[in-house]
Chains A and B, each alone.
Chain A
Amino acid sequence: MKQAFAKFSPFQVDPEKVWADYELNYSDFEPATDAEKESVSEVRQSVSYWRDAARRFRKNTVSMVALFVFLAILVFAFLGPLLIPYDYANQYRSSQKLGPFEYSKQEALIKSIEGEVDCMFATALQPGSVTALDPGDYYFKYKGDTYSFSLDAKLADSVIVLKDGDLSIVKQSDISNGQIKKSTPLEYTSEVPDGAKQLKVESKVFPHVVGTDSQGRDILARTMYGARVSIIIGIVAALIVLIIGSIYGAISGLCGGTVDFVMMRIVELIYSVPEVLIVLLLQVVLKDPLQAWFDSSNSWFANALSTLGAGIVSIFITFGLLYWVTLARIVRGQVLMLKKQEFVTAATALGASNGRIIRRHLLPNCVGQLVITTCLQIPAAIFLESFLSFLGLGVSAPMASLGSLCSDALGTLTLYPYRLLFPGAILTIIVLSLNLVGDGLRDALDPRLKK
């Protein structure tokens, strides 16, 4: 008996001792307090699917880094334009073809001039006037006071204008459309006159970080704008694919039979179409009719679309026509699997319509798959858009996307490679980070796939 007990006891039992020899600690037999019960409790609040997925995603270092990189790109694209003083479409005169961090001769604002002249620009409003503003000290009289300022080579945009051989001062408000309406002649002296007031010269002008293009547009500003356009196109195109693909796939899978057969033959047909040729053709075909529709229609919808431009809208139409097939197949596969399960039978038995079954039962159950595919669709759409824009279709000037920027830079590739490589690098980073986030989502949302 003792032996038998010893066998089952987790404690070391001395076979020589009898049971009574063990000292009993009576406190061990007191009922546990609530706090003690809590501490050994194995019951936790159930973790929902999404919370579980989020936890798995957070554990995935690569995907988390990619997510933060993508967020950084979003900040770059959407908040960046607020931080730099250049506009994507503005052609900055006399600062064409600048290299990274180069300044044009006239590109400095001379600020903080006291008195009535509130803003000074030394700009080349007329050809040839640049040479007069070589670096050096300048003095001029204005309204009885003598001012002096010095100019280094990189400086000068705005007020001092060389006109007919004379330096003259022009208020910014007197310049319209490049024409000077009113100017005051400056007296140019070589010695420092007594009582000259020193003008503060702002020498730190915001640099053109990646230079400017042949039209004098700031490439950094254009890249930020282009990245924004590309990301928006990617997301909208992915949503279009999501909507069309999931509805099509769900109907095909649920109805089955002849409907399914016909619908899947259509999918196969679209699969075997050489999509690039049709896309190129569609781009050209859609451009003019869309433009005509924008011009004639006054509805808010047409107006909203016309701000996007015919090129972008036809990219959306292309996606709506050709690129939903993969998603439709995935959804159909899921629906075929789900529709045999009991809860669908139950819903049917309760008299739910097909539409309700799709909306309430089938689609929510494939949501993981949908999220993964849509997330991976975004970089694919950005890829296609950049490809089309690169070939001169899609986004048209003055709008820019990353693809069209690369396309613009192609002509001068051998001279200014950074003009193509910078937007190209941003494009690569966007696609890379989204791919990695998508992979992470797949691992998080569909643990069965994880090896």
Chain B
Amino acid sequence: MAIYIVKRLAAAVATILVIMAITFFLMNTIPGSPFLTEKSTPQQIELANQKYGLDKPLIVQFKNYIVNYAHGDLGVSLKMQEGTPVKKILFGQGKFVLSIKLGVCALLVAICLGIPLGCLAAYKRGTWIDGLLRVLTTVGVAIPTFVLASTLLVAFAVKLNWLPTLSGSLDSWKAYIMPVISLSFYDVCYIAKLTRTSMLDAINQDYIRTAKAKGVKNKWIVLKHALRNSLIPVITFLGPLAAFIITGSFVVETIFSVPGLGKYFIQSVINRDYTIIMATTVVVSVLVIVMNLVVDIAYKIVDPRITLSSTDE
């Protein structure tokens, strides 16, 4: 186990290096410079380039990034808030914190609602509850986040006036409701579908029949025997879910005017603020990679039969 984790961490570091290289290459191919404005003279641009080390050869610049990141130094913003350390921008003023708050809430809702709904559908298989949930989840995975989010906005904020239109920096609990619902709806539906399928799969297994024969109550069969064994596909989905939730949060942040990471990233790309682009990409990659690792370890805990050393199926 320990060896496995060490191996995976080494792979993660390598992955992050590759991602940094890709990001670095891509952002330097964007035409233009962070210092190019209507007023700036070539001398000013040159001076600014010298100041932030952008006049050096690309390979040296890339090396500097790696060395600085290894020391935990994310550099300073080049344009959007010139001179401010990126760390302070991303973590200090809440950009990242807001996105993470939304993301974690949505993740919790997705798990705490999706799995029970899936169980309920499997438990009540063939009844109207199952049918209703099936229709709901099938439609749910087809609704794009932005359509759902704007429908909610129109219905609850504009027409009914129950909830605030702008969620802003998520000051009250009311501001959370719509962004979290829109962010987690797809995942609730997907997890419920997944749980139902794998639960029905598990119910047909021999050990369930044995449990029934022993006289275990139906409820306990579902909750104890079937659920644990049907969780593996659900856990597999939770890894990509971290990425999904960040994806969705870009749109949700736009619609509910939350000054989160997503919006900031797009702005930084448009402004060619190299250090912020790099820092955001690396922070999100680390998050995704760590989530994947946690998921793989969670597998092992749920199903001890899974061997972690081989990644082949």
Question: Residues 214-250 of chain B: 1 if any A CB is under 8 Å from the residue's CB, otherwise 0?
Answer: 0000000000000000000000000000010011001
- B158 and A274: CB pair below 8 A? no
Q: A268-B311, A274-B288, A278-B26 are in contact. Are A420 and B150 (CB under 8 A)?
A: yes
* B9 to A: closest C-beta gap in Å: 13
Question: Residues 380-422 of chain A: 1 if any B CB is under 8 Å from the residue's CB, otherwise 0?
Answer: 0001001100111000000000010010001001100100110
- B285 and A421: CB pair below 8 A? no
- Indicate if A246 sits at the interface (CB-CB under 8 A): no
Q: A275-B243, A427-B144 are in contact. Are A282 and B26 (CB under 8 A)?
A: yes
* B90 to A: closest C-beta gap in Å: 13
Assembled-state Cα–Cα distance A413/B157 (Å): 11
* B134 to A: closest C-beta gap in Å: 10
Tally of B interface residues using CB under 8 Å: 53
- Indicate if B211 sits at the interface (CB-CB under 8 A): no
CB contact between A272 and one of B23, B26, B30, B289 (< 8 Å): that residue: B289
CB contact between A387 and one of B144, B277, B313 (< 8 Å): that residue: B144
Q: A278-B22, A417-B154, A421-B150 are in contact. Are A451 and B200 (CB under 8 A)?
A: yes
Which residues of B27-54 are within 8 A (CB) of A?
27, 29-31
Residues of A within 8 A of B154 (CB): 413-414, 417, 421
* A400 to B: closest C-beta gap in Å: 15
Which residues of A291-322 are within 8 A (CB) of B?
none
Residues of A within 8 A of B31 (CB): 288-289
Question: Residues 262-295 of chain A: 1 if any B CB is under 8 Å from the residue's CB, otherwise 0?
Answer: 0010001100111111101110110011000000
Q: A276-B250, A285-B29, A391-B251 are in contact. Are A269 and B18 (CB under 8 A)?
A: yes
Residues of A within 8 A of B280 (CB): 277
Tally of A interface residues using CB under 8 Å: 43
Instruction: Please report whether the interface of chain A is mostly helix, strand, loop or mixed according to DSSP.
Output: helix
Assembled-state Cα–Cα distance A1/B17 (Å): 91
Q: A272-B288, A274-B243, A390-B146 are in contact. Are A436 and B15 (CB under 8 A)?
A: no
- Indicate if A80 sits at the interface (CB-CB under 8 A): no
* B58 to A: closest C-beta gap in Å: 15
- Indicate if A153 sits at the interface (CB-CB under 8 A): no
- Indicate if A425 sits at the interface (CB-CB under 8 A): yes
Assembled-state Cα–Cα distance A436/B243 (Å): 25
Which residues of A326-379 are within 8 A (CB) of B?
333, 379
Residues of B within 8 A of A432 (CB): 138-139, 142
**Identity of the chain A residue whose Cβ is nearest the Cβ of B255 in the assembled complex:** A410
Assembled-state Cα–Cα distance A280/B177 (Å): 27
- Indicate if A428 sits at the interface (CB-CB under 8 A): yes
Question: Residues 141-161 of chain A: 1 if any B CB is under 8 Å from the residue's CB, otherwise 0?
Answer: 000000000000000000000
Residues of A within 8 A of B60 (CB): none
- A428 and B30: CB pair below 8 A? no
Residues of B within 8 A of A379 (CB): 142
Other 7 A-B pairs with CB < 8 A, given A269-B15, A276-B250, A424-B146: A272-B292, A276-B243, A281-B277, A281-B281, A425-B147, A435-B138, A451-B200
Closest 10 CB pairs of A and B: A424-B147, A432-B142, A431-B142, A417-B154, A276-B247, A274-B284, A281-B26, A414-B158, A288-B31, A277-B281
The residues of A with any CB-CB pair to B shorter than 8 Å are 264, 268-269, 272-278, 280-282, 284-285, 288-289, 333, 379, 383, 386-387, 390-392, 403, 406, 410, 413-414, 417, 420-421, 424-425, 427-429, 431-432, 435-436, 451
